[in-house]
């Protein structure tokens, strides 16, 4: 039986969430089991307010603009939902003849997806999740759409910072990276060496407890050997007891606005070591940057959108589309389905084999794993100065 399909965005936007939207809309337009395609304007809050846009008849020439548009073209949200809100969604879906629901987002959105699925299971409404998070902390899937572009941004931007610091080698620069409690985006800065002869000298991840004395010793050694350098630190750094090294600006549920970690670390260098230091915090500049969008990321995001429509219209429900690598000499991923219960509010962090023994950098194994995800080779940045012995 044919029915209508609804697409809902949730959580922080990325450089490719609109590519998943494009893939889902185009596949739904082609599917004989889908009558009309709706987009919730403003996430779950838009659904509850019945702010639904019919996108069925949008031509491909117009829709293709989604592939190069940053953030969410339909609006997303971080609504705190309780049982009454979930119950209220079901009659709205029935009112609009929606038999298929696609929830595109990260950990929180997959939790919402699972809870909505539970309420729709006996109502003839199928619910499927499309992965999305620049943090790359969704479980099971090899990686999440959105991460490859954020990783490309970090690698390219940190390479440029390294150029700046090598050009005027008078200080330590601390760059802060997004990523919450997982260090994937921070670690991606190491790929700066694919672009420039010099990369970040030190990288600190939230997978390892932060020790101020070790940090200062690392930086002091860097000053003695080079006299300058670049440090990349995760916003989620914490002490051994789990306390953040900088008090968050505020925390509401899962939503945490982290404090200025880079500024704190730069101040430590200035005050404790008496050396010049400055902090850089790109923040959300790198979350949805089209300028640094990865072509691989974009292609896989679209693939996930299309796979979600295939799944939801063929009777699948309560699952999330995931990616896995196909063995072979060349990088390629395929989609598969995972039970939504396996990813609801489950945080995936960097494995030990990707982190060096001292916990102040990453391994070559991580670089090899991450490199295909950032897409086309980074631009090569020149340095005409002779190499030092």
Which residues are catalytic, by number? 135
d(CA 140, CA 336): 10
15, 60 Cβ separation under 8 angstroms: no
In angstroms, the Cα distances linking 95 to 50, 51, 52, 89, 91 are: 10, 13, 12, 10, 6
**Distance between first and last Cα of the chain:** 72
| CA–CA separation, 205 and 11 (whole Å) | 23
Distance of CA 294 to the CA centre of its chain: 12
Strands 319-325 and 333-339: antiparallel
Helix, strand, coil percent values for the chain (each to nearest 5): 40, 20, 40
DSSP string computed for 11-40: SS--SSHHHHHHHHHHHHHH-TTEEEEEEE
Give residues with Cβ within 8 angstroms of 340, minimum separation 6: 110, 113, 114, 117, 129, 318, 319, 320
Instruction: Give dist(CA 369, CA 382) in Å, integer.
Output: 26
Collapsed DSSP state (helix, strand, coil) of residue 241 = coil
Euclidean distance between CA atoms 75 and 173, whole angstroms: 35
Do 338 and 320 meet the contact criterion of CB atoms below 8 Å apart?
yes
Sequence-ordered list of residues with C-beta below 8 angstroms from that of 135, at least 6 positions apart, any chain: 106, 144, 147, 178, 179, 180, 182, 184, 185
Q: Check residue 300 and report its DSSP letter.
A: H
CB 108 within 8 A of CB 334: no
């Amino acid at each position: 039986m044919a029915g209508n399909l609804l697409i809902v965005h949730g959580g922080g936007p990325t450089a490719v969430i609109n590519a998943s939207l494009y893939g889902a809309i185009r596949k739904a337009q082609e599917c004989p089991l889908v009558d009309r395609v709706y987009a919730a304007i403003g996430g779950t809050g838009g659904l509850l307010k019945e702010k639904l846009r019919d996108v069925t008849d949008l031509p491909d020439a117009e829709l293709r603009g989604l592939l190069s548009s940053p953030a969410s073209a339909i609006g997303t949200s971080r609504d705190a939902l309780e049982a009454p809100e979930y119950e209220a969604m079901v009659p709205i879906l029935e009112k609009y003849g929606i038999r298929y629901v696609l929830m595109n987002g990260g950990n929180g959105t997959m939790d919402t997806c699972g809870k909505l699925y539970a309420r729709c299971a006996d109502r003839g409404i199928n619910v499927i999740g499309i992965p999305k998070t620049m943090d790359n902390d969704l479980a099971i899937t090899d990686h999440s759409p959105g991460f490859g572009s954020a990783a490309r941004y970090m690698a390219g931007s940190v390479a440029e910072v390294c150029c700046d610091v090598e050009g005027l080698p008078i200080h330590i620069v601390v760059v802060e990276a997004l990523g919450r409690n997982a260090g994937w985006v921070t670690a991606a800065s190491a790929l700066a060496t694919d672009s420039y002869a010099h990369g970040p000298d030190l990288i600190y991840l939230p997978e390892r407890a932060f020790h101020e004395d070790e940090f200062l010793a690392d930086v002091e050694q860097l000053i003695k050997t080079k006299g300058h350098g670049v440090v990349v630190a995760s916003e989620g750094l914490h002490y051994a007891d789990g306390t953040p090294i900088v008090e968050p600006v505020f925390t509401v549920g899962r939503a945490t606005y982290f404090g200025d970690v880079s500024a704190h670390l730069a101040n430590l260098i200035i005050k404790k070591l008496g050396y010049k230091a400055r902090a850089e915090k790109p923040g959300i500049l790198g979350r949805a940057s089209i300028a640094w969008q990865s072509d691989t990321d974009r292609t896989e995001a679209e693939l996930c959108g299309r796979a979600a429509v295939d799944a939801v219209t063929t009777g699948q429900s309560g699952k999330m589309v995931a990616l896995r690598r196909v063995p072979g000499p060349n990088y390629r991923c395929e989609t598969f389905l995972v039970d939504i219960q396996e990813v609801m509010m489950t945080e995936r962090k960097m494995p030990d084999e990707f982190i060096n023994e001292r916990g102040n950098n990453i391994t070559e194994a991580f670089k090899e794993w991450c490199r295909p995800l950032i897409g086309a080779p980074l631009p090569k940045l020149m340095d005409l100065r002779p190499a030092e012995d």
